[in-house]
């Protein structure tokens, strides 16, 4: 259960783990409420496949992932609101994922019921942009939003957005703030200094000519 | 949306001949509206966007950034982009600007340092630069100094006077101390001093103390791209527009998309033609018209206003309308640190340095100059898309672990500098593409002057030295490519004494039309070293003085 937590650093885990657990439990409660079960675009079968792919993008590996954050609900609403142009990409792209699964693993039935290794292999074969993409500076129109993009690329972006969107918004993503808890973002919207151990002991700005060495540790 | 007009507000009829129509309510339009209405003139401000308030603002990145809550809409207002006049332009988003009352000042980062003396007279000092139309301003830093001071005191800027050895002279200290320092500022300051540079507290148009009925900054961390819910960020919306309305002489009319300046038989501007919210065509009559749309929409409006009298576009006898577009060159380097900095808390920039403001072209091999600052201006989704080092996993458990580790340990060194004016860079009307009102769309032509790109690389090298001195565990620079997108839209109706090579004179009066004024980013003659908004506001305060003087003397109706 804790297999990926080592990568997060012991300090982070100690400080955030209780909050992460509490948030995850809250998210689960929200996730099973009847209101959240209504699909605005997907068929139940499509939703199941989309959730499985999103869960590979941000897995539930000891801390909450796309599943606990309700990312599939975020995507479902996105496709009838700001990402309405991507409806076709999903509707026509999901059978493509199924097809690739069958090509690689003839015995498998659906992506959502495939093994973790099979799922990873399928997505790796679909990840055309690859792992060596140069970073792009985030800018205003940040979602793919164009039908020209392959489904995996759009779904990956939607999963990230659905995991990290402001949990107080009506987007149905980042349920209970679990995404923010995972990255270590305090759920608040107003903060007072000190913001970190670094600024806690800062003596204040001094002109160089005063002879005081502000560099001294 | 709280678009409802409050009942006590001043209203004018379109048939009333008001003293001034101001097109645009942003950094310049807001200041002009406040100054002129407080001076007794009747003013109608026509703003194409809605009238939003703090309660409409949000931290929902999808709503604000993806759905353009505060900004121009690429679907309604498409743009096309090409590199040179020989190329065919492609449909592509060229820029982001504020499209709401308050304009771009609603969502800016709020870096507010003054231009230096050199910015106004660089051509005289360094001579001609090949491939550039670089010229001096018709005004000097000394002409603007008292207006910079007005911006600091009336709009609200936090800072520490005298902290930078390179700062130009000033008549008054800042009205408020700097905002609380951030970890990235401290790391930046210590590393810069190791290298012998002179970091100082960044002047910001964000209140560090409550002032004029506005709250001090609460450090929510949603500055760039977002509106401020507590009125701490010194936008036109919260600093100037309320005073304009309070004067009883100013009507802010939102959802009014001006697409033509009406001209009378004498060749004077007689009113502004606009679409209201329901796309009805209206005409607001006025004795004087002031364009403060921004460096893209102002030249577009002039070109859309072509007529028999002005076949090449209004106020365009020089052919300079839309030309000489400048962006500010920039380089963004990123560092990941071992210790948590938590820079998502608070405003973006707390330390900056200007040691490289005037580089010696003989030594570095290119013309230009700039500065560095430490900032964190990413919000969670944006970070998820583009905040990790190159080569990081893009999905799966290692991707998630990297997000979790880096979000609280990452910040940027932002190199900001000059853009040289180039004649062919600019805006005109696209011959093929139209907006949702069936008006010709903007076409942008832009290719960086080679020196701008050299400067960006040079600043990135300094940023890497700084990140190394700071002990960053990982560091990289976003690719420095030719720019095809910007938020700084400068120089496209430049001011100057010579009607052959400029659009407005030093009073912001169009050379060709006595009662037409232009004041916004398009007025700038040089780009400065980044962060133009404070200078745009200072120009607007000065323009208001000049315009009021001319109007009282009767020069506009003569």
- pLDDT at A28 > cutoff 50: no
- Please give, rounded to a whole number of angstroms, the shortest distance from the CA of A47 to a CA of chain B: 20
3-state secondary structure labels for all residues of B490-547? ECCCCECCCCCCCCECCCCEECCCCCEEECCHHHCCCCECECCHHHHHHHHHHHHHHH
Give the separation between CA A143 and CA A141, rounded to whole angstroms. 6
Q: Which helix (H) or strand (E) holds B366?
A: none
Residue of chain B whose alpha carbon sits nearest to that of A200: B183
Torsional sign, CA B224, B230, B234, B235: positive
Instruction: Check: CB of residue A198 under 8 Å from CB of residue A81.
Output: no
Contacts of B425 (CB under 8 A, 6+ apart): B323, B324, B325, B326, B445, B446, B447
Question: Cβ of A164 and B485 within 8 Å?
Answer: no
Question: Cβ of A214 and B401 within 8 Å?
Answer: no
Give the separation between CA B546 and CA B558, rounded to whole angstroms. 16
Number of H helices, E strands in chain B: 13, 17
Residues 19-48 of A with CB under 8 A from B: none
pTM of the model: 0.93
Counting other chains too, the contacts that B358-366 makes at CB distance below 8 Å and 24 or more residues apart are: B358/B116, B358/B118, B359/B455, B359/B458, B361/B126, B364/B454, B364/B458, B365/B454, B366/B450, B366/B451, B366/B454, B366/B455, B366/B458
For the CA atoms of B119, B485, B380, B354, the dihedral, rounded to the nearest 10 degrees, stands at -20
Nearest to B371 by CA among B360, B350, B355: B355
Within 8 A of A157 by CB-CB distance, chain B residues are 385
- The predicted pLDDT at position A1 comes to 25
Of B74 and A15, the structure prediction assigns the larger pLDDT to B74
pLDDT tens per residue across span B55-107: 999 999 999 999 999 999 999 999 999 999 999 999 999 999 999 999 999 99
- pLDDT at A32 > cutoff 90: no
Percent residues over pLDDT 90 in chain A: 66
Q: At what angle do helices A87-104 and A116-126 cross, to 10 degrees?
A: 120
B408 closest CB neighbour out of A63, A127, A184: A184
- The predicted pLDDT at position B555 comes to 82
Question: How are beta strands B250-253 and B43-46 bridged, if at all?
Answer: parallel
Using the Cβ of A82 and the Cβ atoms of chain B, whether some distance falls under 8 Å is answered with: yes
Q: Give the model's confidence band at B556: pLDDT under 50 very low, under 70 low, under 90 confident, else very high.
A: confident
Domains and CATH numbers, chain B: 11-108+113-156+235-326+420-445+486-558 (3.50.50.60), 179-203+329-417+447-484 (3.30.410)
Give the separation between CA B229 and CA A190, rounded to whole angstroms. 11
- pLDDT at B5 > cutoff 80: no
Question: Cβ of B60 and A157 within 8 Å?
Answer: no
- Please give, rounded to a whole number of angstroms, the shortest distance from the CA of B169 to a CA of chain A: 18
Structure tokens at B106: 């609603």
- Give the least confident one: A4-8, B90-94, B534-538: A4-8
Instruction: Check: CB of residue A175 under 8 Å from CB of residue A69.
Output: yes
How does DSSP assign B130-153, residue by residue? Answer: TT------SS-HHHHHHHHHHIII
- The predicted pLDDT at position A17 comes to 35
- The predicted pLDDT at position B81 comes to 97
Contacts of B248 (CB under 8 A, 6+ apart): B10, B37
Best of A135, A154, A161 to mutate (most B CBs within 10 Å, chain B) = A135
Question: Cβ of B401 and A56 within 8 Å?
Answer: no
Residues 141-160 of A with CB under 8 A from B: 141-143, 145, 156-157, 159-160
Contacts of B516 (CB under 8 A, 6+ apart): B261, B268, B269, B288, B289, B290, B291, B314, B315, B509, B510
Residue of chain B whose alpha carbon sits nearest to that of A20: B404
Give the separation between CA A153 and CA A170, rounded to whole angstroms. 24
Q: Give the model's confidence band at A18: pLDDT under 50 very low, under 70 low, under 90 confident, else very high.
A: very low
B391 closest CB neighbour out of A8, A132, A191: A132
Residue of chain A whose alpha carbon sits nearest to that of B385: A138
Question: Cβ of B404 and A132 within 8 Å?
Answer: no
Q: Give the model's confidence band at A5: pLDDT under 50 very low, under 70 low, under 90 confident, else very high.
A: very low
Best of B400, B470, B476 to mutate (most A CBs within 10 Å, chain A) = B400
Within 8 A of B393 by CB-CB distance, chain A residues are 131
What are the residue boundaries of the structural domains of chain A, listed by start?
A: 5-130+143-189
Within 8 A of B388 by CB-CB distance, chain A residues are 135
Residue of chain A whose alpha carbon sits nearest to that of B181: A199
Cα B210 to chain centroid distance, Å, stands at 25
Please, what is the average pLDDT of chain B? 96
Nearest to A154 by CA among A115, A97, A209: A97
| Residue B353 backbone phi and psi in degrees, to 5 | -145, 150
- pLDDT at B422 > cutoff 90: yes
Question: Cβ of B386 and A137 within 8 Å?
Answer: yes
Within 8 A of B109 by CB-CB distance, chain A residues are none
Number of H helices, E strands in chain A: 8, 0
A7 closest CB neighbour out of B395, B405, B408: B405
Of A5 and B107, the structure prediction assigns the larger pLDDT to B107
Best of A198, A203, A209, A217 to mutate (most B CBs within 10 Å, chain B) = A198
- Exposure of A188 in the CB half-sphere (CA atoms within 13 A): 12
Residue of chain A whose alpha carbon sits nearest to that of B71: A140
Contacts of B46 (CB under 8 A, 6+ apart): B21, B22, B23, B24, B253, B256, B258, B272, B274, B284
Residue A14 gets which letter from DSSP? Answer: H
Using the Cβ of A163 and the Cβ atoms of chain B, whether some distance falls under 8 Å is answered with: yes
Residue of chain B whose alpha carbon sits nearest to that of A195: B342
Torsional sign, CA A50, A54, A59, A65: negative
Give the separation between CA B391 and CA A131, rounded to whole angstroms. 6
Give the separation between CA B316 and CA B302, rounded to whole angstroms. 8
Structure tokens at B92: 């592509």
Residue of chain B whose alpha carbon sits nearest to that of A172: B60
- The predicted pLDDT at position B359 comes to 97
B339 closest CB neighbour out of A135, A191, A197: A197
- Please give, rounded to a whole number of angstroms, the shortest distance from the CA of A92 to a CA of chain B: 22
- The predicted pLDDT at position A137 comes to 52
Beta-ladder partners of B282 = B274
Q: Give the model's confidence band at A25: pLDDT under 50 very low, under 70 low, under 90 confident, else very high.
A: very low
Q: Give the model's confidence band at B205: pLDDT under 50 very low, under 70 low, under 90 confident, else very high.
A: very high
- Please give, rounded to a whole number of angstroms, the shortest distance from the CA of B208 to a CA of chain A: 12
Give the separation between CA B209 and CA B219, rounded to whole angstroms. 12
3-state secondary structure labels for all residues of A110-153? CCCCCCHHHHHHHHHHHCCCCCCCCCCCCCCCCCCCCCCCCHHH
3-class SS at B23? strand
ipTM score assigned to the predicted complex: 0.95
Q: Give the model's confidence band at A130: pLDDT under 50 very low, under 70 low, under 90 confident, else very high.
A: low
Give the separation between CA A155 and CA A56, rounded to whole angstroms. 11
pLDDT tens per residue across span A44-72: 999 999 999 999 999 999 999 999 999 99
- Please give, rounded to a whole number of angstroms, the shortest distance from the CA of B267 to a CA of chain A: 41
Within 8 A of A133 by CB-CB distance, chain B residues are 390, 394
- Please give, rounded to a whole number of angstroms, the shortest distance from the CA of B26 to a CA of chain A: 19
Best of A138, A151, A170 to mutate (most B CBs within 10 Å, chain B) = A138
Structure tokens at A87: 């409806």
Beta-ladder partners of B428 = B443
- The predicted pLDDT at position A128 comes to 76
- Please give, rounded to a whole number of angstroms, the shortest distance from the CA of A171 to a CA of chain B: 8
Q: Give the model's confidence band at A148: pLDDT under 50 very low, under 70 low, under 90 confident, else very high.
A: low
Residues 164-203 of A with CB under 8 A from B: 164-166, 168-169, 171, 179-180, 182-186, 189-193, 195-199, 202
- The predicted pLDDT at position A3 comes to 27
pLDDT tens per residue across span B455-484: 999 999 999 999 999 999 999 999 999 999
């Amino acid at each position: 259960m804790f297999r990926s937590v080592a990568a997060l650093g012991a300090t982070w885990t100690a400080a955030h783990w209780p909050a992460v657990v509490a948030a995850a439990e809250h998210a689960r409660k929200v996730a099973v409420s009847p209101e959240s079960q209504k699909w605005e675009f997907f068929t139940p079968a499509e939703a199941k496949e989309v959730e499985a792919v999103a869960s590979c993008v941000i897995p539930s590996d000891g801390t909450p992932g796309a599943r606990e954050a309700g990312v599939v609900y975020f995507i479902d609403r996105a496709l009838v609101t700001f990402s309405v142009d991507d409806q076709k990409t999903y509707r026509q792209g999901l059978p493509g994922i199924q097809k690739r699964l069958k090509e690689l693993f003839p015995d498998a039935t659906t992506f959502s019921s495939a093994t973790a290794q099979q799922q990873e292999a399928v997505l790796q074969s679909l990840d055309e942009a690859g792992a060596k993409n140069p970073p792009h500076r985030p800018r205003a129109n940040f979602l793919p939003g164009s039908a020209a993009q392959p489904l995996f690329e759009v779904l990956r972006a939607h999963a990230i957005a659905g995991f990290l969107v402001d949990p107080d918004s009506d987007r149905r993503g980042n349920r209970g703030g679990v995404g923010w808890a995972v990255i270590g973002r305090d759920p608040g919207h107003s903060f007072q200094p000190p913001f970190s151990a670094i600024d806690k002991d800062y003596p204040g700005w001094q002109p160089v000519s005063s002879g005081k060495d502000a560099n001294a540790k | 949306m709280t678009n409802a007009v409050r009942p006590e507000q001043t209203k004018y009829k379109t048939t009333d001949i008001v003293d001034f129509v101001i097109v645009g309510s942003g950094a310049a339009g807001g200041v002009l509206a406040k100054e002129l209405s407080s001076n007794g003139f009747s003013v109608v401000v026509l703003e194409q966007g809605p009238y939003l308030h703090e309660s409409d603002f949000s931290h929902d990145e999808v709503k604000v950034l993806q759905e353009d809550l505060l900004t121009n809409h690429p679907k309604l207002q498409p743009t096309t982009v090409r590199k040179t006049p020989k190329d065919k332009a492609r449909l592509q988003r060229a820029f982001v600007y504020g499209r709401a009352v308050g304009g771009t000042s609603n969502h800016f980062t709020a870096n507010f340092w003054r231009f230096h003396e050199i910015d106004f007279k660089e051509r005289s000092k360094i001579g001609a630069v090949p491939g550039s139309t670089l010229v001096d301003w018709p005004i000097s830093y000394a002409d603007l100094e008292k207006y910079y001071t007005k911006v600091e005191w009336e709009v609200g800027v936090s800072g520490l006077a005298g902290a930078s050895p390179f700062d130009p002279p000033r008549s008054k200290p800042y009205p408020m101390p700097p905002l609380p320092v951030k970890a990235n500022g401290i790391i930046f300051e210590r590393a810069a001093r190791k290298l012998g540079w002179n970091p100082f507290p960044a002047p910001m148009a964000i209140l560090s103390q409550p002032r004029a009925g506005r709250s001090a900054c609460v450090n929510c961390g949603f500055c760039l791209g977002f509106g401020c819910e507590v009125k701490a960020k010194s936008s036109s919306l919260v600093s100037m527009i309320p005073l304009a309305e309070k004067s009883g002489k100013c009507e802010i009319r939102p959802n009014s998309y001006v697409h033509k300046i009406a001209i009378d038989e004498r060749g004077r501007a007689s009113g502004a033609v606009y679409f209201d919210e329901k796309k009805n065509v209206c005409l607001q009559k006025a004795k004087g018209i002031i364009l403060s749309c921004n460096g893209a929409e102002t030249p577009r409006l002039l070109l859309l206003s072509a007529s028999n009298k002005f076949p090449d576009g209004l106020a365009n006898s020089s052919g300079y309308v839309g030309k000489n577009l400048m962006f500010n060159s920039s380089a963004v380097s990123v560092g990941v640190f071992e210790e948590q900095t938590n820079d998502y808390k608070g405003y973006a920039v707390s330390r900056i340095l200007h040691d490289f403001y005037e580089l010696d072209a003989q030594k570095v091999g290119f013309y230009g100059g700039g500065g560095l600052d430490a900032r964190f201006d990413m919000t969670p989704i944006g970070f998820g898309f583009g905040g990790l080092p190159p080569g990081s996993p893009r999905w799966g458990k290692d991707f998630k672990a990297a997000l979790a580790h880096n979000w609280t340990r990452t910040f940027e060194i932002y190199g900001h500098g000059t853009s040289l004016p180039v004649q062919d860079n600019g805006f005109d009307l696209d011959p093929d593409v139209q907006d949702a009102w069936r008006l010709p769309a903007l076409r942008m032509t832009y290719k960086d002057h080679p020196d701008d790109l050299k400067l960006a690389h040079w600043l990135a090298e300094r940023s890497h030295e700084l990140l190394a001195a700071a002990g960053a565990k990982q560091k990289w620079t976003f690719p420095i490519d030719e720019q095809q997108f910007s938020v700084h839209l400068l120089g496209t109706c430049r001011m100057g004494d010579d009607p052959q090579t400029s659009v407005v004179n030093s009073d912001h009066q169009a050379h060709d039309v006595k009662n037409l004024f232009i004041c916004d980013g398009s007025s700038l003659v040089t780009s400065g070293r980044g962060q133009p908004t404070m200078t745009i506001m200072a120009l607007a305060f000065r323009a208001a003085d000049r315009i009021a003087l001319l109007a009282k003397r009767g020069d506009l109706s003569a």
